[in-house]
Chain A
Amino acid sequence: MTSLDVAERHLDLETAETNDWLPSQTAEDATPRRSSRKIDISLLLAGAVLVIVLLVAVAPQLFTAYDPIKGLPGQQLKPPSAAHLLGTDSLGRDLYARLAYGAVHSLSGALAAVGIGLFAGTALGVLAGSIGGRTDTVVMRLADVLLSIPALLLSLSIIILLGFGTINAAIAVGITSVASFARIVRSEVITVRRSEYVEAAFGSGGTFLSVLIRHVLPNSLTSVIAFAALQVGWAILQLSTLGFLGYGAPPPTPEWGLLIAEGRNYIATAWWLTAAPGIAVVLVVLSVNRISQAFGRIER
């Protein structure tokens, strides 16, 4: 049989040929597409938590009748009850009200901080990873310098340069996270840049910029977005530390981290003062995380 005959025979087969798909036990092929639109319960919960928290942040007065700043006389340090769902603090302020009014401070501050870190870090990381050589060395050594300074010390220094206040605290926290974002982005970019599809894109005549935009950026951002979601929680805690030290939101502000910090003095007698805001932080972080994971999966 000559190869010509074989070629003809295969050409006949070819129209119906896409049966070269065979079920296989390799992990990739076993689940070719998670196309089943089964709604995941954890995803649904995460979405619900975020929607509620966002609503509370936008309009806290709809969720509680108490004032977050003014205390009620004679109601100090009451445990959770029907009147005060999450109890009261040492000044008789309703903790639930403080949590509700604090959502906007915590979330906006954290989001701004993560946004700054994400954008500046991505820009630097892409620069270092895609150009390489001396640019890479300079950018990464700068990142090393930033990483070598303790985050709190660095943000304190930045606040002292910028001046006190919630927004400046957010900027300071954002800057401290630039280095870690830059590192992650750079390593992702380097991995993607070595992949064959990027080489194939250059091989088909792509310019540096077009390959960067079409392939390198979209493929390296997945894990960065996941990291950003993690950073939201970290930023909330950093902001609260700064608030506790008096560099961030000033004390009457019901910022979540500040609530935890204030509650620490009473942890033995009034557990709800740390537990409730702590759980709120954990829930928000987990939900953001779950949703970013779901996004990553759809994108793939």
Chain B
Amino acid sequence: MTIQPIDLPKVAVPPSPVLAVSGLTVSYSDRNGARTAVHGIDFHVNPGEVVALVGESGSGKSSTAQAIIGLLPENGKLESGSIRLNDQEIAGWPQRRLDGIRGSVISLIPQDPGNSLNPVKTIGKQVAEILAIHGEASGPVAYTQAIALLERVGLSEPKLRAQQYPHELSGGMKQRVLIAIAIALKPSLIIADEPTSALDVTVQKHILDLIDELRREYGTAVLLVTHDLGVATDRSDRLIVLKHGRIQEQGRTQDVIGNPQNAYTRQLLSDAPSLNIRQRPATAAKETPATESDDIIVVENLVKDFGLGGYSRFCAVDDVSFRVRRGTTHALVGESGSGKTTSIRIVSAFEKPSSGRVIVDGLDLSTLRGETLRLFRKKIQLVYQNPFGSLDPRQTIARIVEEPLLNFEPVPRAERTERVAAIIEKVGLPPDVLGRRPHALSGGQRQRVAIARALILNPQILVLDEAVSALDVTVQAQILALLSKLQRELGLTYLFVSHDLAVVRQIADTVSVLSGGKLVDSGAVGDVFGNPASAYTRELIEAIPGKKHRPPAKPFPLISTGTEQ
């Protein structure tokens, strides 16, 4: 079932807050001395209220959450400030004393469900442990209660799950287990630190719905730490916007979203793709009638399967076809395991299809071998999701960007240097990055370097594999703007892979939706999003956060499937 969050009826005089933080200052020390990450912030959380702490990486939101529950990393220090939990000052308590309230009065839903469970203990035992630690129950009684909790958080077959180990569960199921542990003792405050960032979008919705439902049932307050403004606006009563460890703005969610007072908040809001329905302006190609020869990428009946040992085979891509017109952007959308990455790896000739045909700019990829394949690479370039992994850590930016030029007909050194400098300027980087190495750059700058390297050979097609997913929302908006600019100037064709429909809606002309390796929907972005043909696409669209404060789109029939199970 799908539950929409409901604002609790507001009492005229708010009761005393569950959590009151004032003057909280957190600093981190390393070899170069101390650095303050949180600068004296004040806020409070009332009983039963959801307060969202929003900010980009480095804004101090996680440090704040960690300081409250006393789990700062070793080099972190709570410099000053008071943290009052249920009118009790807990700042500066020793760890031993905090153990008494952690789990029972205040609990944490961690970010990465994959790393937060003990891999050698069964699920049931781990849930029972929290009850035993706080002397609530022990032995078989605790175990029975644990099973009831697992059932409460919506795990199917809780008895079976209790006997399983973490690796046998999916990410969404693990997060449910962690939620069960967090609510086991009915704490008065739950800190949810990016609880759904590591999960697929439909699973994310189910998990957030669950947190919402439980907090209404138990009257627990929630401090939701998130980078996703869409999630924050959907789920919170009040919003706190952080930047560089200082509060930029806080207030009722509707007020902040509807009428932001602060420039930074306004920028965040306009950059968040999920909060802005921004239709892409029609590209020139759209106005001319389509002809067959305009299609620069043609994929027909693509199949890729992998042997799993023995006779079983896993079909990663199952009969997928799509066409991309020159100068347009085509998006491949799907959740993890949908086959979108495999498809584009085949299109960029890094993998060979099991069957089917791929024609790029008139060339059938199956005919390419050795030297012809190497020459083909000038036409199509791939930009990876993770700019940390796709740049050689030992090379300077100049060497990285220059490298593709060295692979083809020799270019004199002076001309190479000139072309590298030109392309670096084109992607909006200052010239002084050329002598640096990747680790001295931020994520957004690194992604610009990756784009520069891809563009230096003047390719016709850029394949972008989740190229903006790892970036902060404002940086993401900047990279997307850069991509639109480059497309207009250079007539590039983009094949854009993403799990984020909000981004796709903003950048793509046409879209193919993949699920379990099959093509479930395709067409122009407006058609697919406005009038989805398949239930899966509807569910994906439904799961985009940030609905609450957006002009309502056409209502879709509710569907519910436990996709993460």
Nearest residue, chain B, Cβ from A29: B58
Per the CB 8 Å criterion, the residue count for chain B at the interface is 71
Complex contacts, A210 vs chain B, CB 8 Å = 406-407
Checking B76, B280, B348, B428 against A3 with a beta-carbon cut-off of 8 angstroms, the contacting residue is B280
**Contact at B58–A203, with CB atoms within 8 Å?**
no
Please tell me if the beta carbons of B440 and A32 are within 8 angstroms of each other in the complex: yes
Contact yes or no, B394 A17, CB < 8 A: no
User: In the complex the two chains form, is A201's CB within 8 Å of B403's CB?
Assistant: yes
> Which residues in A have their C-beta under 8 angstroms from that of B63?
25
Mask: chain A, 167-211; 1 = CB below 8 Å from B; 0 = not: 000000000000000000000000000011101111111110010
The answer to the question of A134 belonging to the interface, with a C-beta cut-off of 8 Å to chain B, is: no
Residues of B within 8 A of A201 (CB): 392, 403
Asked if B140 lies at the interface with its beta carbon under 8 angstroms from chain A, I say: no
- Tell me whether B484 and A7 are in contact (CB under 8 A): yes
Residue B350 at the A interface, CB < 8 A? yes
In the complex where A18-B430, A18-B445, A210-B407 touch, is A197 in contact with B57 (Cβ < 8 A)? no
A205 close to B390 (CB less than 8 A):
no
Residues of A within 8 A of B378 (CB): 205
B485 within 8 A of partner (CB): yes
Contact A3 B484 (CB under 8 A): yes
The answer for the CA separation of A33 and B440 in the assembled complex, in Å, is: 7
Contact B276–A197 (Cβ < 8 Å): no
Chain B hits for A9, CB < 8 A: 481
Min Cβ gap B348→A in Å is 7
Distance of A73 Cα from B108 Cα, bound (Å): 77
Within 8 A of B (CB), among A27-46: 28-34, 36, 38
**B392 A197 Cβ-Cβ under 8 A:** yes
B506: CB under 8 A from chain A? yes
Any B CB within 8 A of the CB of A84: no
A interface size (C-beta, 8 A):
49
Question: What are the residues of chain A within 8 A of B244 when measuring CB–CB?
Answer: 22-23
B281 at the A/B interface (Cβ < 8 Å)? Answer: yes
Expressed in whole angstroms, the Cα–Cα distance for A1 and B477 within the complex equals 14
In the assembled complex, A59 has its CB within 8 A of some CB on chain B: no
Chain B residues closer than 8 Å to A34, beta-carbon distance? 31
Interface status of A26 (Cβ within 8 A of chain B)? yes
Contact A1 B278 (CB under 8 A): yes
A23 to B276, CA, bound (A): 27
Min CB distance, A158 to chain B, in Å?
36
User: Do the beta carbons of A22 and B58 come within 8 Å of each other?
Assistant: yes
Residues of A within 8 A of B281 (CB): 2-4
Distance between Cα atoms of A2 and B404 in the complex (Å):
35
Q: Which of B56, B62, B404 has the most CB of A within 10 A?
A: B404
Cα distance A291–B440 in the bound complex, in angstroms? 24
B430 shortest CB reach to chain A, Å: 6
Contact sample, A vs B, 16 pairs, CB 8 Å cutoff: A1-B278, A14-B478, A15-B428, A18-B430, A21-B444, A25-B62, A28-B388, A36-B31, A196-B386, A197-B389, A199-B350, A200-B390, A202-B350, A203-B382, A204-B404, A205-B457
* Chain B residues near A (Cβ < 8 Å): 28, 30-32, 35, 37, 56-60, 62-63, 73, 76, 244, 270, 276, 278-281, 348, 350, 374-375, 377-378, 381-382, 384, 386, 388-395, 403-404, 406-408, 428-430, 439-445, 450, 453-454, 457, 472, 474-475, 477-478, 480-482, 484-485, 506-507
Given contacts A14-B478, A29-B58, A206-B403, 9 further A-B contacts (CB under 8 A): A4-B484, A14-B481, A20-B443, A33-B440, A34-B31, A196-B389, A201-B392, A203-B377, A219-B393
Q: Which 9 pairs, one residue from A and one from B, show the smallest C-beta to C-beta distance?
A: A24-B58, A204-B404, A22-B58, A10-B481, A205-B407, A20-B444, A21-B442, A196-B390, A14-B428
